């Protein structure tokens, strides 16, 4: 098995009988309205990937993990002329991804249910599907030539890894996301010290998730992929050089892992786009000459930004007053349409203010409990959530050139909230499409309906808790305990305080934790716990890099 790294989360895996191209993100326009660019740049690989997919001989597959544009690249895929290959996509409840490929004109499209195997010569491809409400993702395994590659990219399946490894056996090469892919705290107005503290905690939480995954999978090699993007828009360029943020590079991760897992025999690899790894020997059979290092990183980014400056010159334009008024009116209609469909509106205790930078005295105030959007001249609520955005950016959402989540990931907005507490319904209201609002609400109710409980041990005591995380339903039986009191969700690392009824440190959700009295001993044996307890093991103090 040979694995060619295509940049970001992209790979081309070749076995004796098959080729699997995974998540090729190669367009020079980047993703999320060009806010994210590939790091290192990989646009030169587009002709090679086209050739691989168009060349007959082996059975050829194109795998797309989910809809985010740093994984699903319609611009590049449109350049492929000969499409006699098979497309593999996860079978989500929403059919948009498979509908797109049904029209694409390829050999066939296979929408895979969770854990479905696709036979290939000498092995198989298997997809693992994760879907919680409107959060959709998948990961892929390729087994062939006596080796196995598991690529979970940014799929939140950490609570399933124990079972997957028990069923599938040894993994030779493993890849998982280690960098941030969210707009908090990047887009929020925080003092520098608060921003750094939140970023450091999130970064180390992500590193800890990778380390625990490696401790479960125990692969022969780990490939650091789905890492940070390059932010080349002049308004975002400083993000590349912040002392602490949620976009660390691979050397910082490796430093953490070497201290956290000092005896793990796994090799840590940071390939450049175009490098080819032999999965048997774990040696690179081909490496590209250009390497991005800590020493040349700043110069590399400055040159990259200069080369791509035309992209950002072309997207800038000044709006006439009439255009701003039209966009303001359309945005108000869009927010009201969302609000009309949000049947969990009564859970949101604060209003949302939306300000167009071109019209600062015409704020839109979303009153969730009153289910109405009004125009006001100032923020009059002490408790409120606020978003500031330019009309020229938000109009791309209203014109359906971007969806709401892609817009939020473009980082071209400023957010604030008081109190500084994550509100899942309000957060979903902002990020979900109008047509997905009902499904979003149904997903929250479905998660809350899971009432099964489990028992954990922490600080020498036993607690009964809800087994499934109230955020997105992760199995907390696969979680762990930190500091003798906090149950940590294995999927998003939310912390629940057992000494405070299982309350979450992030928001007001709870596991409804209750102390469990020790059962009387019989014949010298203590009765077993109802469920396996989470491991009471605090992580090693992370390095400050």
- CATH no. for residue 474? 2.102.10.10
**CATH code for the domain in which residue 125 is found:** 3.60.15.10
pLDDT value for 446: 86
Among 415, 432, 347, CA closest to 135: 432
Q: Which of 443, 460, 485 is the last residue of a domain?
A: 443
pLDDT at 508 over 70: yes
- Do the domain assignments include residue 523? no
pLDDT tens for residues 22-65? 999 999 999 999 999 999 999 999 999 999 999 998 999 999 99
- Kindly report which listed range (114-123, 345-354, 507-516) carries the lowest average pLDDT score: 507-516
Contacts of range 492-497, beta carbons closer than 8 Å, 24 or more positions apart: 492/156, 493/205, 493/206, 493/208, 493/209, 494/469, 496/465
Do residues 438 and 454 share a domain? no
Question: What are φ and ψ of residue 379, in 5° steps?
Answer: -80, 115
Do residues 71 and 186 share a domain? yes
* pLDDT tier for residue 534 given thresholds of 50, 70 and 90: very low
Peptide bond into 268 cis (omega under 30): no
In contact, 489 and 474? CB cutoff 8 Å? yes
CA gap 476, 487 in Å, rounded? 8
C-alpha distances in Å from residue 331, one per residue of 275, 439, 539: 46, 22, 46
- Kind of pairing between the strands at 221-224 and 267-269: parallel
Do residues 465 and 416 share a domain? no
Residue 489 structure tokens = 């969700």
- Kindly report which listed range (311-325, 347-361, 396-410) carries the lowest average pLDDT score: 311-325
Do residues 396 and 299 share a domain? no
pLDDT at 186 over 90: yes
Residue 57 structure tokens = 């001989």
The range of the structural domain enclosing residue 511 comes to: 450-516
- Do the domain assignments include residue 129? yes
Do residues 169 and 115 share a domain? yes
CA gap 135, 127 in Å, rounded? 17
> How many domains is the chain built from?
3
Q: How far apart are the first and last CA of the chain?
A: 35
pLDDT value for 336: 98
pLDDT at 542 over 80: no
pLDDT value for 371: 96
Do residues 382 and 507 share a domain? no
Do residues 125 and 156 share a domain? yes
**Average pLDDT for 345-363:** 96
- Give every CB contact of residue 36 below 8 A, 6+ residues apart in sequence: 30, 70, 229, 230, 231, 409
pLDDT value for 545: 29
- Do the domain assignments include residue 387? yes
Residue 354 vs residue 519, higher pLDDT = 354
**Average pLDDT for 273-282:** 98
**Average pLDDT for 81-96:** 95
Q: Which of 280, 311, 342 is the last residue of a domain?
A: 311
- Do the domain assignments include residue 507? yes
Do residues 210 and 98 share a domain? yes
Element (H, E) at 329: helix 321-341
Do residues 262 and 120 share a domain? yes
pLDDT value for 18: 97
pLDDT value for 448: 84
pLDDT tens for residues 286-327? 999 999 999 999 999 999 999 999 999 988 788 999 999 999
CA gap 254, 517 in Å, rounded? 42
pLDDT value for 519: 58
pLDDT tens for residues 157-166? 988 999 999 9
Looking at every residue in the chain, the average pLDDT score rounds to: 91
In contact, 198 and 146? CB cutoff 8 Å? no
Residue 271 vs residue 528, higher pLDDT = 271
Do residues 100 and 240 share a domain? yes
Residue 347 vs residue 542, higher pLDDT = 347
pLDDT at 527 over 60: no
Q: Determine if the pTM surpasses 0.85.
A: yes
């Amino acid at each position: 098995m040979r694995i060619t790294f295509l940049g970001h989360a992209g790979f081309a895996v070749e076995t004796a009988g098959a080729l699997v191209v995974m998540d090729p993100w190669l367009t020079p326009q980047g993703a999320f309205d060009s806010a994210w660019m590939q790091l290192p740049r990989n646009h030169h690989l587009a002709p090679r990937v086209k050739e691989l997919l168009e060349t007959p001989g082996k059975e050829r597959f194109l795998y797309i993990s989910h809809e985010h544009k740093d994984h699903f690249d319609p611009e590049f895929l449109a350049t492929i002329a000969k499409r006699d290959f098979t497309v593999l996509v996860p079978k989500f409840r929403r059919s948009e991804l498979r509908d797109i490929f049904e029209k694409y004109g390829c050999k066939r499209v296979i929408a895979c249910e969770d854990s479905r195997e696709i036979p290939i010569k000498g092995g198989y491809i298997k997809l693992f599907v994760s879907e919680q409400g409107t959060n959709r993702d998948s990961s892929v395994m390729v087994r062939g030539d006596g080796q196995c590659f598991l690529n979970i990219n940014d799929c939140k399946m950490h609570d399933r890894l124990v079972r997957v490894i028990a069923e599938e056996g040894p993994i030779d090469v493993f890849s998982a996301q280690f960098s941030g892919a969210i707009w908090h705290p990047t887009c929020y107005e925080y003092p520098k010290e608060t921003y750094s503290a939140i970023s450091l905690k999130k970064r180390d939480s992500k590193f800890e998730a990778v380390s625990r995954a490696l401790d479960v999978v125990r692969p022969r090699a780990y490939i650091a992929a789905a890492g940070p993007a390059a932010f080349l828009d002049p308004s975002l360029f400083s993000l590349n050089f912040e002392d602490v943020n949620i976009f660390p590079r691979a050397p910082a991760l490796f430093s953490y892992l070497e201290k956290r897992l000092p005896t793990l025999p796994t090799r840590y690899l940071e390939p450049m786009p175009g490098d080819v790894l032999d999965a048997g020997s774990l040696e690179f059979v081909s490496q590209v000459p250009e390497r991005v290092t800590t020493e040349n990183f700043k110069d590399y980014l400055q040159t990259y930004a200069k080369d791509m400056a035309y992209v950002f010159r072309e997207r800038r334009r000044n709006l006439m007053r009439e255009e701003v008024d039209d966009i303001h009116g359309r945005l108000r209609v869009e927010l009201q349409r969302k609000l009309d469909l949000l049947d969990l509106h009564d859970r949101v205790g604060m209003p949302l203010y939306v300000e167009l930078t071109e019209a600062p005295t015409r704020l839109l105030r979303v009153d969730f409990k009153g289910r109405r959007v009004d125009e006001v001249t100032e923020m009059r609520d002490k408790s409120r959530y606020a978003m500031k955005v330019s009309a020229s950016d938000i109009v791309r959402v209203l014109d359906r050139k971007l969806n709401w989540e892609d817009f939020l990931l473009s980082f071209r907005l400023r957010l604030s909230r008081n109190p500084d507490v994550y509100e899942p319904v309000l957060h979903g209201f902002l990020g979900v499409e109008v047509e997905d609002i009902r499904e979003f609400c149904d997903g929250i109710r479905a998660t809350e309906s899971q009432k099964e409980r489990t028992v954990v041990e922490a600080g020498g005591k036993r607690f009964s808790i809800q087994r499934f995380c109230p955020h997105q339903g992760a199995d907390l039986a696969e979680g762990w305990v930190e500091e003798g009191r906090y149950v940590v969700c294995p999927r998003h690392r939310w912390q629940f305080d057992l000494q405070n009824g299982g309350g979450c440190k992030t928001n007001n959700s709870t596991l409804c934790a209750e102390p469990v009295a020790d059962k009387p001993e019989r014949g010298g044996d203590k009765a077993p716990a109802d469920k396996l307890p989470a491991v009471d093991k605090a992580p090693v103090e992370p390095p400050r890099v």
